[in-house]
Amino acid sequence: MFSKGEDAKTSFLEQTKAAREERALEKKKEQSAVLLQAHIRGWLARIKFTNYILNDFDVIVPDVPEDKVNLTSFTPSIEIYQKVRLFLLIWKKERDKERFAKLCRYMIASLDSNSPKYSYVGIALNKNHVIHWISHMNDILWKCCDYLDDLKPEYASDMKFVLLYLHMLVSFTSTSTWVILKNKNIEQFKPGMSKFCANFMGQLFHRGFYLTLKGLLIKGLSRLRIVFKAASLSAIITLALRPLIAADFSDKFMTMFLIQILSVPGIIQHLQTVTPDSITVLVTNKIFLRSIELLSNQQAMRIVFNTLEGNYALCLLANITQLGYIERDTTLKEICFPSFTVVVTGLLESCQHYVVVKQSNLTHWHPVLGWFAQPMDSALHAAIPHVKMQLHLLWNSEIVNILLGKFLSSLVKNLEAPHAPGGSSGHSNHFSGTNFLRRALDSRVNKTNTQKSYRSLGSPEVHRVVLMCSLYHTALHTLTQLKLDILTGLCYRDRFLYDLWLFLCSLGPNCGLKTFLDHLAVNTKCTAPEFQMLQLFSDCMTHYVTILDDMELYEQQNPFKLSDFVILSNFLNIFLYKIVIGSLIDLKSIQSNQLFQSLHTLLIVLYKRDCRRRYTPLGHWLIKEIKVSSFMVDLEKGRRAQQILLQTMPHIIPHEDRVRLFRKYIINEKTVLGLTESACASPQSTLITVHRSRIVEDGYRQLALILPQNLKGVIRVRFINEQGLDEAGIDQDGVFKEFLEESIKKVFDPGLNLFKITSEERLYPSPTSYLQENHLQLFEFVGRMLGKAVYEGIVVDVPFASFFLSQVLGQTAQALYSCVDELPSLDADLYRSLNYIKHYEGDVSELDLSFTADEDCLGKLVTHELIPGGKAVSVTNDNKINYIHLMAHFRMHVQIKDQTAAFIRGFRSIISPEWLSLFSTPELQRLISGDNVPLDLKDLRKHTQYYGGFHDSHRVVNWLWDILDKDFSDEEKGMFLKFVTSCSKPPLLGFAHLEPPFSIRCVEVGDDEDTGDTIGSVIRGFFTIRKKDPQNRLPTSSTCFNLLKLPNYQKKSTLREKLRYAVSCNTGFELS
């Protein structure tokens, strides 16, 4: 019973709830309908109102034709003003752009009326409307800017609107075009009207007017072909200057002008090209001077740079530089130091903060700055060529002269040229014009120089030079992609570089060596401006010396004399040694130390030039204070300073000591590899079997594939003679030497076409070696064999062209390597031809050359293009230097690139590149072929072994040494040495290092009957017992054992005659 009552109650509650919800829903519907109806009525009313306003606007605002009809036919301006105020209330940007343009055309046209009734500015004369009219004009002018932000001036349809709105802004921000002010009754209101214009300009400025102008300029100028004509560009500059003028060039307005206008890429260059009158306006308003004065304030500089950051700060620098160039004869001369110098240096340093050395995921490539920590927008990419042209003005000869050149010249005007102590000319064959009198004069001058006064680093004139040099040093390390252009601009403009050299020499004895060392002891980070001056000079000199050809360096000597290079290299050598040995800089980070790297690069350039053709006195590169024994002990102890000196300046150690160190490295490696004899074990050896008729083929087949470690060990050779029988001598060291000599003799024979010879009979890889099967593998094998010879201390008479040895040493991979310098070692005729082109005074295009190189390949002429499309590119005065270097590079590198790489790969598999770095190119040749010194007979005799009864006091032996000493010329002595050892030059470090040792054996029979020493032959030889006088027999030799087989002659004259004949007739190890 209770359940039925509860169900009824629940049902009643649910029905009540549903009814309540239904009533609420109906009420909501009614409310929504009312709101919707109200909204629609409002919308319809607004539409009606809007249409009413627009219709009134369309009717009352006249269309202005281009010929501008009589303005009195227009509706009075006050009526139009009232309708326009309503129009602006319902203005929509996209819908009303044509109406707004129509309004602007009317307002501009109305300015030509002198009647307040028809001129739009006449409204301001009505005190009832003036306040609202000012606000009204501010609104209209800002809407012009709003439209300019969206327009694209590259489109003709948009450009007409750009011109219209610029015209509008120009017209209403100055009273100069208001005809109404010419009315005598109204002229009195001109000051007040001008204040209105200033108000308009101020309002625009505070709302971001400069941003609008900057955007417009970038859209129109930052492209391959600019779209602005003179009128539009002039209008923009006029508008940009008006806020400045109105604010009397206040710091705030000047800062915004620099940030928004003068940072537009290439704007000054475009102004100078398109509208020179605008440049005149900038000059008249002293924009350059005011910009420098503002940026001289460090706080202002920080604000400007932090706003612009790297990319557009660079553009600001470029524009300021061009403004300075434009005013180079006036303002720049007045403010070049210190203001201009400090500002430019500051901007460069600020940009440098974003420059990074290496590529990473966070860097971007910049065409001027290199790897950069900021991305570049597309507009800036298009404008970079213009920015580059502007930056080039910074090292233009006129600017350099104004900033530093003329001042520097005045400082060194009365200075004498520096002289090398004792004169360098007496030590070189290349100074044919020097004589005893010259050296005497030099000596007298040197005595005078020791008494003259020197400039202090703290003096005002030195400070000025230092700051100017710091500017260009900063430019070199900031504008990394323009480095060569900067160096070229500084090096080849008048006498700037030579004057800077004379200035450095005036800082103290030996180029101010002690002055700089003392300064470095205080400024260990090398960041002082004085060191930046030193770096700038070093970088410029490196560039200068690298480009100089031999005629310019050794013969013309203008302006730099060879004595200058002697003094400079001596300063660099000692200075770098002192800062390393004295740890004046952080040795752990020496590779990244700009001062060390800059000076070291120049030192090595000068050293390599001297190695190729000497201009310094003997012993010039050695550091006299180094005690070699102590140096080597410190090196073994792992002292950092000695390690760095050996790696970077090995030439300061005598050559003989470096060779000993080289041999020590090899001995140590053999010990580590277990290749030396010991009491515990003998090293494993590799046995090869070689047929006499197939020495190269069998050697290549068996040795080419074995590991370099095994090739460094003992190689035992079993020869198979022509009859197919084994020869004796498998375990004798001389057999391997014979195999090595015979192999090298054949592979370097030009007839095999692996190598060719120059006109000076020097070897280099043949460009046509590909005709030989497996030629690259053979080159690698040859490199291994030569490496093995050097490794074992076996000298072979193989003279290489110096350019090829430079590649073996890895010198050609260096940035400052010049192919042209070493071209004479390959082809002297080609070098002379290219030099003729370089110094050709007429038009090189008359020679009818193109960027191609011809090669004679088996009688067929093959043409190679030096650059893509080279056949169609003519050689001109502008590109002839590039052609010369490309031609030299092609001949010495491109043609033999693969062959050289294979040879080097084989050679370095035996000889470590680190060991090779101890030597220069000529020294490597000496390491391969022996020393370039006369034969030391005493040393040879001291290390000679005797067999067959001969001994050091034997009559025939005494005759032999006496004949060699007194009767043989130096050339004949070399022929004798080649006759017995296969090499005409003595081994480095003397005959104590000749392997096997030189020996002399007494023989009784010919080589074909010789079976070696017997007891009888030894006794007869020892007691000079003869069977018969062997006057019909000649001395013979076995070069593989360094053995001279000498008959027991009875007369000294017979020995002299036979020996001279034997050494002159025996070709030995010849290459042709």
In whole angstroms, give the CA distance from residue 1005 to residue 1007: 7
DSSP per residue, 100-119: HHHHHHHHHHHTT---TTT-
Q: How far, CA to CA in Å, does 828 sit from each of 38, 541, 549, 679, 832? A: 101, 26, 13, 56, 6
- Report residue 174's pLDDT band, with 50, 70 and 90 as the boundaries: very high
Coil vs helix vs strand at 36: helix
Annotated catalytic sites, by residue? 1040
Q: Which two tokens stand for residue 1039?
A: 């070069």
Single out the residue of 208, 216, 97, 215 nearest to residue 162, CA to CA. 216
Is 1058 among the domain residues? yes
Single out the residue of 608, 489, 613, 577 nearest to residue 539, CA to CA. 489
Q: What is the pLDDT of residues 992-1011, one digit of tens each?
A: 888 788 999 998 755 444 44
User: Is the per-residue pLDDT at 448 higher than 50?
Assistant: no
Q: Are residues 651 and 665 in the same domain?
A: yes
Say if residues 475 and 314 touch (Cβ distance below 8 Å): no
Q: Are residues 507 and 641 in the same domain?
A: no
- Report residue 209's pLDDT band, with 50, 70 and 90 as the boundaries: very high
Helix (H) or strand (E) holding 88: helix 77-89
Peptide bond preceding 986 in cis form (omega within 30 of 0): no
- Report residue 11's pLDDT band, with 50, 70 and 90 as the boundaries: confident
Out of 261-275, 811-825, 969-983, least confident range: 811-825
User: Is the per-residue pLDDT at 680 higher than 80?
Assistant: no
pLDDT the model gives residue 598 = 95
DSSP label of 874: B
Q: What is the pLDDT of residues 868-884, one digit of tens each?
A: 999 999 999 989 989 99
User: Is the per-residue pLDDT at 628 higher than 90?
Assistant: yes
pLDDT the model gives residue 286 = 96
Q: Are residues 1061 and 1025 in the same domain?
A: yes
User: Is the per-residue pLDDT at 531 higher than 90?
Assistant: yes
In whole angstroms, give the CA distance from residue 1006 to residue 999: 18
User: Is the per-residue pLDDT at 299 higher than 90?
Assistant: yes
pLDDT the model gives residue 858 = 74
Beta-carbon contacts of 187 under 8 Å, excluding residues fewer than 6 positions away, are: 181
Length of the chain: 1072
Beta-carbon contacts of 192 under 8 Å, excluding residues fewer than 6 positions away, are: none
Q: Are residues 665 and 796 in the same domain?
A: no
pLDDT the model gives residue 309 = 83
Query: Which amino acid is located at 1016 in the chain?
Result: G
Q: Are residues 761 and 888 in the same domain?
A: yes
Average pLDDT estimate for 469-490: 93
Average pLDDT estimate for 429-458: 52
Is 131 among the domain residues? no
Q: Are residues 966 and 1025 in the same domain?
A: yes
User: Is the per-residue pLDDT at 426 higher than 60?
Assistant: no
Say if residues 604 and 920 touch (Cβ distance below 8 Å): no
Average pLDDT estimate for 290-316: 93
In whole angstroms, give the CA distance from residue 905 to residue 918: 19
Average pLDDT estimate for 329-344: 93
663, 668, 669, 671: CA torsion to nearest 10:
130
Average pLDDT estimate for 889-902: 94
Is 105 among the domain residues? no
Q: Which two tokens stand for residue 276?
A: 């020179």
pLDDT the model gives residue 365 = 87
User: Is the per-residue pLDDT at 1024 higher than 60?
Assistant: no
In whole angstroms, give the CA distance from residue 473 to residue 536: 5
Is 794 among the domain residues? yes
Q: Are residues 666 and 594 in the same domain?
A: no
Q: Where is the domain boundary, 621, 641, 659? A: 621
pLDDT the model gives residue 582 = 93
Pairing of strands 714-720, 685-691: parallel
Q: Are residues 550 and 588 in the same domain?
A: yes
Is 519 among the domain residues? yes
The gap from C-alpha 92 to its chain's centroid, in whole angstroms, comes to 57
Q: Are residues 806 and 936 in the same domain?
A: no
In whole angstroms, give the CA distance from residue 447 to residue 425: 18
Out of 67-71, 383-387, 492-496, 921-925, least confident range: 67-71
Is 1007 among the domain residues? yes
Q: Where is the domain boundary, 907, 927, 947? A: 927
Average pLDDT estimate for 283-305: 95
Say if residues 985 and 1027 touch (Cβ distance below 8 Å): no
DSSP per residue, 622-637: S-TT--HHHHHHHHHT
Count up the domains in the chain and report the number.
5
Half-sphere exposure of 526 (CA within 13 A, CB side): 21
In whole angstroms, give the CA distance from residue 563 to residue 547: 19
Output the average pLDDT for the chain: 87
Q: What is the pLDDT of residues 185-202, one digit of tens each?
A: 888 888 889 999 999 999
Q: Are residues 838 and 783 in the same domain?
A: yes
Say if residues 140 and 99 touch (Cβ distance below 8 Å): no
Out of 43-47, 149-153, 526-530, 787-791, least confident range: 43-47
Single out the residue of 983, 822, 828 nearest to residue 889, CA to CA. 822
User: Is the per-residue pLDDT at 69 higher than 70?
Assistant: no
Q: Are residues 766 and 653 in the same domain?
A: no
DSSP label of 355: B
User: Is the per-residue pLDDT at 730 higher than 80?
Assistant: no
pLDDT the model gives residue 714 = 87
DSSP per residue, 543-601: HHHHH--HIIIIII--SS-HHHHHHHHHHHHHHHHHHHHTT-S-GGGGGG-HHHHHHHH
Single out the residue of 508, 616, 509 nearest to residue 564, CA to CA. 616
At 1016, which CATH number? 3.30.2410.10
Query: Which amino acid is located at 38 in the chain?
Result: A
For residue 366, what are the β-bridge partners?
370
Percent of the chain with pLDDT strictly greater than 70: 91
Q: What is the pLDDT of residues 546-602, one digit of tens each?
A: 888 888 899 999 999 999 999 999 999 999 999 999 999 999 999 889 999 999 999
Coil vs helix vs strand at 129: coil
Is 737 among the domain residues? no
Single out the residue of 664, 508, 642, 494 nearest to residue 571, CA to CA. 508
User: Is the per-residue pLDDT at 1016 higher than 50?
Assistant: no
φ/ψ of 306, rounded to 5, equals -65, -30
Q: Which two tokens stand for residue 133?
A: 């009219």
For residue 1000, what are the β-bridge partners?
946, 1044
Q: Are residues 653 and 509 in the same domain?
A: no
In whole angstroms, give the CA distance from residue 257 to residue 239: 11
User: Is the per-residue pLDDT at 1067 higher than 60?
Assistant: no
Q: Where is the domain boundary, 638, 657, 679? A: 679
φ/ψ of 715, rounded to 5, equals -110, 120
Q: What's the domain range around 25?
A: 16-56
In whole angstroms, give the CA distance from residue 86 to residue 90: 7
What number of other Cβ atoms are within 10 A of residue 552's Cβ? Answer: 17
User: Is the per-residue pLDDT at 521 higher than 80?
Assistant: yes
At 778, which CATH number? 3.30.2160.10
Single out the residue of 711, 692, 877 nearest to residue 785, CA to CA. 711
Q: What is the pLDDT of residues 684-703, one digit of tens each?
A: 888 889 898 898 899 999 98
Is 306 among the domain residues? no
Percent of the chain with pLDDT strictly greater than 90: 56
pLDDT the model gives residue 682 = 72
